Amino acid sequence: MTHIKMKHFLMVLCLCIFSISLQAQDLIVTGEGDSLNYKITKVKKDPISMKEIYPHFRLALTGGWSYLTARLSDDTPAEFKDYSKELKSGFHYDVDFSYYFVEQLGVGFKYHEFLSSNKMDNVYATYPDGSTEYGSMSDDIRINFIGPFFSTRFFNSTKKNCLLMDLGLG
């Protein structure tokens, strides 16, 4: 087994030594068959190939109808199940700001707010002393998210549309 390891080590060492001594052939052959020998002394970056063709910054405002997918608690009284289910749907809006270091990877900051409300009439409450009171019950719910996130995006071939995926803590 040691002999095989030594053999691999020597092959890798030889490749490293020979690759250091390798040089590119500095020869241009023209269409007419003439040959030109030259030596490369300076390389300039090509401004066309180095141009970044993707946007670095993204500002997005979004909004619309939302539905919360969490299950209702088993402890929710039967007479309040429909009321509670209606509170799971509402309106949301988002504000995102992202900066992309490379075409597909960036970081950003997000603010998200979910809004929902509901009202129920003829609700009664029984107090510990045995008395009962009737009235209305209402809820105005706001759920906020504020925090940083990592973002990835995948452009289509025309670079006009992309799929975005964000992962954040807030």
pLDDT string in tens for the chain (170-residue length): 566 677 777 777 666 565 555 555 566 777 777 777 766 677 676 655 556 678 899 999 999 999 999 999 999 988 899 999 999 999 999 999 999 999 999 999 999 999 999 999 998 888 999 899 999 999 999 999 999 999 999 998 888 899 999 999 98
Torsion of CA 63, 67, 68, 71, to 10 degrees: 180
Q: What distance in Å separates the CA atoms of residue 56 and residue 105, rounded to the nearest whole number? A: 10
Question: What would the two tokens of residue 156 be?
Answer: 């289509």
Q: Cβ distance 94 to 111 under 8 Å?
A: yes
Question: What would the two tokens of residue 86 be?
Answer: 């209606």
Helix (H) or strand (E) holding 6: helix 2-21
Taking the whole predicted model, whether its pTM rises above 0.85 is answered as no
